[in-house]
Chains A and B, each alone.
Chain A
Amino acid sequence: MSSISMTVNGKTVSGEVEGRTLLSQFLREDLLLTGTHIGCDTSQCGACSVHVDGKLVKGCTMLAVEADGAAVTTIEGMANEDGSLSIIQAAFQEHHGLQCGFCTPGMVMATDSLLKSNSDPSEAEIRKHLSGNICRCTGYHNIIKSIQAAASQLG
């Protein structure tokens, strides 16, 4: 077991983990931040996407010990400070960009990452950026619309 500590959504946290514990498991099981979802076991679906030191990371591709000392942001840290929905979150609600909600945290994290690096992405750029996030409900139509709306508001 290893002792680790990191900043998650602005708060310092620590824990004892096995070497094999994934960051996504640590967030869910130890910190009970269950908004980060696990949808596969091959790092394909993107439901566990979080930000580590500002970079978009699938939480299942990183061991918890590798995140020792890092600053992590999860879906629970994405709303505005007053608790209201962020522009991206509100755009997903406004444009029906989610149905069952399971892939949604990963979609929001991926969108935030995209729009920070490209404030005016084309449809093709959005689709390519999301190719690591699987949604089974929406056919992606309204997810793309949501992201386009968020981009124009943040623009």
Chain B
Amino acid sequence: MPKDNGIGASPKRREDVRFLTGRGQYTDDIKLKNQCQAMFVRSQVANGVIKSIDTSVAAGMPGVLAIFTGEDFTEVGGNPAGWLINSRDGEPMKEPKRPVLAHGKVRHVGDAYAAVIAETHEQALDAAEAIDADIDELPAVIDMADALANTDNLVHDEIETNQCFDWGWIEDNRAATDEAIKNAPHVTTLELVNNRLVPNAMETRASTGDYNPGTGDYTLYTTSQNPHLTRLLISAFVMGIPENKLTIIAPDVGGGFGSKIYHYGEEALVLAASKKLGRPVAWTATRSEAFLTDAHGRDHKTTIELATDKEGNFLAIRTSTLANVGAYLSNFSTVTPTFLHGTVISGNYTVPHIYVNLKAVFTNTAPVDAYRGAGRPEATYSVERVIDKCARELGMSPLEIRRKNFIKKEQFPFATAAGLEYDSGDYHALVDKLEEIADFKGFAARKAESASRGLLRGLGVNTYVEACGLAPSNLAGVLGARVGLFEAATVRVNATGNISVMTGSHSHGQGHETVFPQLVADMLGMSADDIDIVHGDTSKIPFGMGTYGSRSMSVGGSAIVKATEKIIDKASKIAAHMMEAGEGDIEFNDGVFSVTGTDKSVSFPEVAFKAYVPHDYPHDKLEPGLEETAFYDPANFTYPSGAYACEVEVDPETGKVTVCSMAAADDVGNVINPMIVEGQIQGGLGQGIGQALVENCVYNDDGQLLTGSYMDYTMPRADDLPFFTTDQTTLTPCTHNPLGAKGCGEAGAIGSPPTVINAVVDALSDLGVTHIDMPASPARVWAAIQAAS
């Protein structure tokens, strides 16, 4: 068997050659014959009534082909939220319509209310500037507490308040949790902010609509993490284009991080415009548009209370959170702060009583939705920060209090008070591994050395567990999902023995084209070089729910395994026919079918050839061809976990924080390609450190985005980050999928922010600092030092 490129190997990525030579095909690289350009006209105010839109001058400008306003889309549907959340009183959440183009009102800076189609980009730009809209500006709803308190000023007039829902998890646990906290010997309380972030995939969103008047077929090239989901949303909810007349192609996609899960109005607009003009219509966001209109991430304000006994045993956790959903409900915006957040508040610990209250609030800001980690970073940050504070209050070490409360290895499967059943894990082993790779013993010496240079050194630790591998359908359904959550794959064995695998997972940096063939190669005993992956085109693959929630390997990979098992099953029947043996006597090992107890054998390529040249087939028993499809829907989420450590140096004169080291011990279950897993962890660490130290999305009271470009929104750069120390050798396989894989895409972004802040607070703890909000910018750290001293 070719172990060099099967499961557990790290072959070089085959997609790299085209990316390294400039031959990738991202959406904006596809130039269709006769295509014209769309340009959107966007609100410059956060809240306002559209009195009139004068398009007459623009319509007469050179090259202008068509102009659209919200008036043109009053007959089509709204872009829906994918999950229905009920409030504590049983009332369903408020769901205001999210139109293709704003109509009647604009609700955030960047909200598009018109679009111009012209021959060239420059002509569209010039005409867009000539559109004259009379918009009466209203006071902006920005601060979440104010938004809930003030019902005179509404984001959506048809709703009586700015509250989307008031959710309790689990409502039946509320009284017992309150009682446990009331009676607890010790309660640690912490108020914290999970800072609003802009995802910033390096490729901005882009869409090209191509309607064929000859066939009535629509094709949409778009920057999507889940082309079938986009098709479903456009077909069933927004435009009513039949699914069989709409093809979505998401070619090479330059990063997503959640922001490209969702359907956006620009996609509907270019399709409608192409239909009207009979020509392809293309649009690519500028980075400024991306800042204003991509779904943002996080933006929680939380109060968390941790009740313990005097020995540090956890008794209860209660949280109260305001979550910003922005001006409209993006597709995953209601599940992210609820089930992806409240269910993991138990962390890695036995906590007898848990109650989570979360109010989702409309504001005049861009929609907020799932961003790498999606709810789980917010939960982990709250829990791990309050544990650190509690440990200091009780005089315990951060590791001691965690070890004391960990769910023990022998307790799995473990049902938490937050409603999940973790299948496997070994948190004590992870922390043991962390102590080894992070050299805790040498910290005192390093701290002294930093002090000799006038710098304050801190060591922060953190553990996390996440619920990911998003699926299964039945659990998602119970939690309010309006779609299923499974994955599909087709394995097509060609007559000459090579293989095409169609997967519903979508790769936008994850390396699926390299790693998925490793699965099939391993199972069929052939070279991965003879296996290709097809993804990102709804006309070529059976179905797919796409890539997010660290689900590609655990759900998408499992679907490929299931389809390959069907291939082996059918191929065994063909082999039995070829060798004139009973099906029960056929063995398959290392790519060879043999008859038990004989020297008869046929190779996999011989069987494949026979499948397509069935001259002597018993047609009552065997169909020609060798192609199988499987839909895989697992039994549970997966539960990756990890233990992280970070060392920082703080310059007390300037407040600048330098990350000296970051160590991550992760249990992502079985690892298919160590190189790619490590790369995913490293990328998540970079983003998490970015959130902790430099990234912050800020609106002023008028709703103007103050951080609307890379000059104002700080992205982590190469000289902001250290080399990382990572380890994935402490593994407990997932117990319910055939690969034992748990997922690795979000881990780093979930585990690292509290680790960094715990380290910063540790560095400043001698000064009396007990908390600092993210991002721990030099100004904030300096101010905290001054306030403490």
Contact = CB atoms under 8 A, between A and B. Distances in A.
A72 interface: no
| Residue in A96, A124, A131, A138 with the greatest tally of chain B CB atoms within 10 Å | A96
B269 to A, nearest CB: 21
A137 B254 CA distance: 9
Interface stretch (B22-30, B754-762, B771-779): B22-30
A101 B252 contact: yes
Nearest to A86: B20
Contact of A139 (B23, B254, B721): B721
A66 to B, nearest CB: 18
Interface in B189-241: 200-204
B614 to A, nearest CB: 41
B352 interface: no
A20 B16 CA distance: 34
Given A101-B20, A103-B202, A131-B719, 19 more contacts: A28-B29, A34-B29, A92-B16, A92-B20, A98-B16, A98-B19, A99-B511, A100-B508, A102-B203, A104-B20, A126-B718, A127-B721, A131-B718, A134-B710, A136-B201, A138-B682, A139-B682, A139-B683, A141-B724
Interface in A96-144: 96, 98-105, 108, 123-124, 126-128, 130-131, 133-144
Those 5 A-B pairs whose CB atoms lie nearest each other, nearest first:
A35-B22, A139-B686, A101-B19, A102-B254, A100-B509
A35 B28 CA distance: 11
13 contacts: A44-B711, A74-B22, A92-B16, A93-B20, A100-B252, A100-B253, A102-B255, A127-B719, A137-B509, A138-B679, A138-B682, A139-B687, A140-B718
Interface string A33-52: 11111111110110100000
A96 B287 contact: no
B173 interface: no
A64 interface: no
Interface of B: 12-13, 15-26, 28-29, 31, 121-122, 200-204, 252-255, 257, 286-288, 508-511, 675-676, 678-679, 682-687, 689, 709-711, 715-719, 721, 723-724, 748
B20 A85 contact: yes
B21 A40 contact: no
B463 to A, nearest CB: 20
Contacts of A108: 20
A136 B254 CA distance: 10
A76 interface: yes
Nearest to B16: A93
Contacts of A20: 122
Contacts of B28: 28, 34, 38
Contact of B682 (A32, A89, A92, A142): A142
Contacts of A65: none
A137 B718 CA distance: 12
Interface of A: 18, 20, 28-29, 32-42, 44-45, 47, 74-76, 78-79, 85, 89, 92-94, 96, 98-105, 108, 123-124, 126-128, 130-131, 133-144
Contacts, number: 175
Given A40-B287, A100-B253, A134 B721 contact: no
B202 A134 contact: yes
Contacts of B686: 138-141
Contact of A136 (B20, B25, B200, B679): B200
Contact of B254 (A94, A101, A141, A142): A101
Contact of B13 (A41, A85, A93, A133): A93
A134 B715 contact: yes
B510 A99 contact: yes
A93 B679 contact: no
Contacts of B721: 127, 139-141
Contact of B723 (A101, A103, A137, A144): A144
A38 B285 CA distance: 10
A136 B202 contact: yes
Nearest to A140: B718
Contacts of A128: 718-719
Contact of B20 (A40, A98, A100, A133): A98
A39 B203 contact: yes
A36 B721 CA distance: 26
A47 B21 contact: no
A130 to B, nearest CB: 4
Contacts of A133: 718
B474 to A, nearest CB: 33
| Residue in A32, A104, A126, A136 with the greatest tally of chain B CB atoms within 10 Å | A136
B220 to A, nearest CB: 19
B679 A99 contact: yes
B718 A102 contact: no
Contacts of B709: 40-42, 44
| Residue in A79, A138, A143 with the greatest tally of chain B CB atoms within 10 Å | A138
A37 B719 contact: no
Contacts of A138: 679, 682-683, 686
B126 to A, nearest CB: 10
A75 to B, nearest CB: 4
Nearest to B675: A96
Contacts of B682: 138-139, 141-142
Given A45-B202, A133-B718, A144-B723, A93 B255 contact: no
| Residue in B21, B287, B288, B676 with the greatest tally of chain A CB atoms within 10 Å | B21
| Residue in A40, A41, A42 with the greatest tally of chain B CB atoms within 10 Å | A40
A143 B724 CA distance: 12
Contacts of B716: 139
A99 B683 contact: yes
B676 A96 contact: yes
Contact of B21 (A89, A102, A103, A143): A89
B711 A42 contact: yes
Contacts of A137: 202, 255, 509, 679, 683
A27 to B, nearest CB: 10
